[in-house]
Structure 1
Amino acid sequence: MHARLWAQRQRVPEGGATARAIHYSLERWGALMRYLEEGAVPIDNNWVENQICPIALGRKNWLFAGSLRAGQRAAVVMSLLHSARLNGHGPHAYMNDVLERLPTLPGSCISDLLPHRWTPI
Structure 2
Amino acid sequence: MEHSDCTFNISGGNVQVLPNATTAIQNIYEQADCEEDKVLAPYIHDKIERRNYVLRIKSCSDSVTLCKTVLADLYNDVLGDCIKSRDLVKGKEFITAIKPLLAFECGVENLRIAIRKYVLGEIK
Q: If the length of structure 2 is used for normalisation, what is the TM-score? A: 0.23
The answer to which structure has the higher helix fraction is: 1
Which protein has the larger Cα radius of gyration, Structure 1 or Structure 2?
1
Q: If the length of structure 1 is used for normalisation, what is the TM-score? A: 0.23
Q: Which has the higher contact order (CA 8 A, sep 6+)?
A: 2
